[in-house]
Amino acid sequence: MTSDYAVLTEDLTKFYGQRRGIESLTLQVGAGEVLGFLGPNGAGKTTTIRLLLDFLRPTDGSATVLGLDPRRDKAALHRQIGYLPGELSFPGRETAGDLLRFFGAARGGVAWSQVTGLAERLDLDLSRPVRTMSKGNKQKVGLVQAFMHRPALLILDEPTSGLDPLMQQEFLAMVRDARDAGQTVFMSSHVLAEVQHTADRVAIIRDGRLVAVERVESLGKRAIRSVEIHFNDPVDPAEFDVLPGVSEVTVSGPVLRCTVSGRLDPLIKVAARHEIVDMLSAEPDLEETFLSFYYHSEGAGDASRAGA
């Protein structure tokens, strides 16, 4: 049922003249879910967000947000959304507090304690004029205005931009709190580490096309490991070169070094034919896994429909 989903898109497409923004994007985001929307700059993340908010009109396809039509129900929908744009612009000479009071009034009233609580978490001085603030502090103002009315859906475009590492961690704690409260979070990023510990699923977009939608933990199943095996006697690298998922094989006497993508089982079975003295396996690097998949996967477009 539609009510089970905060965001539904079907073949959503946007072209800017001949240039593709996004094409045939089909995605489902469950109510109460945190979805990391991943891809480098220019992949189509911001275009997707602007279509969901009716800041842009699609060339083709459709979107439903919180069970509503972004175009027909725009005013009602925006009251239920907390939006942080990728590029913040705060004109005027207001202090952060004055600006947030304005946003609160525009949304029908927000408890001031909610604003001050978020400001305290983010170490934001509400008495300072926004125009004098650093990029990081302006980002904090943007985060407070997105979270302060406890919206049903948070749409956050590169939310940690400009934040120092400590504030990045506090932001991720805010996302976890929002999920625990039943809110849905749609968070775009080009950094997997930002969403790795908060997202339920990740959607990967490349050149305007969705190439995969899967649970965060499933990325680890194809994670890239560096493996080093010490044998009792020298081994022939040809034994290992042909194994599925095994690459960059080098042998120096009794020491084998290689890279393994996915399951270790094929490598272990062949290695067990020899006497093993020691084995070292580096922890999977999910960032490396993501980048490898993003840049090298072929024919993954069909996976988007299955994964979604």
**Nearest Cα to Cα of residue 200 among 221, 214, 188:** 214
Q: Edge-to-edge strand order for the sheet containing 153-157?
A: 81-84, 153-157, 184-189, 34-38, 201-206, 209-215
Domain with CATH 3.40.50.300 in the chain: 2-218
Assign 10 a pLDDT band (cuts: 50, 70, 90).
very high
CATH topology of domain 224-283: Alpha-Beta Plaits (3.30.70)
The 10s digit of each residue's pLDDT in 144-157 is 999 999 999 999 99
pLDDT in tens, 92-127: 789 999 999 999 998 889 999 999 999 999 999 999
CB 201 within 8 A of CB 33: yes
Radius of gyration of the chain (CA): 23
- Band (pLDDT 50/70/90 cuts) for residue 297 is low
pLDDT tens-digit profile of 55-96? Answer: 999 999 999 999 999 999 999 999 999 999 988 888 778 999
Beta bridge partners of 95: 129
Dig out the tokens for 66 from the structure: 């919180």
Residue range(s) in the chain whose domain bears CATH number 3.30.70.2470: 224-283
Q: Which has more pLDDT, 196 or 292? A: 196
What average pLDDT score do residues 123-133 get?
94
Contacts of 137 (CB under 8 A, 6+ apart): 96, 124, 125, 128
Indicate the pTM of the whole model.
0.78
Of the candidates 83, 87, 50, 82, the one whose C-alpha atom is nearest the C-alpha of residue 162 is 87
User: How far from chain centre, in Å, is Cα 18?
Assistant: 28
Give mean pLDDT, residues 149-177.
94
Structure tokens that stand for 287 in this block: 């960032």
Q: Tell me how far apart the alpha carbons of residues 178 and 175 are, in angstroms, rounded to a whole number.
A: 5
Could you confirm whether domain 2-218 is CATH 3.60.21.10?
no
- Please tell me whether residue 38 adopts helix, strand or coil conformation: strand
114: left (phi over 0), alpha (psi -120 to 50) or beta: alpha
Q: Count how many residues are written for the chain.
A: 308
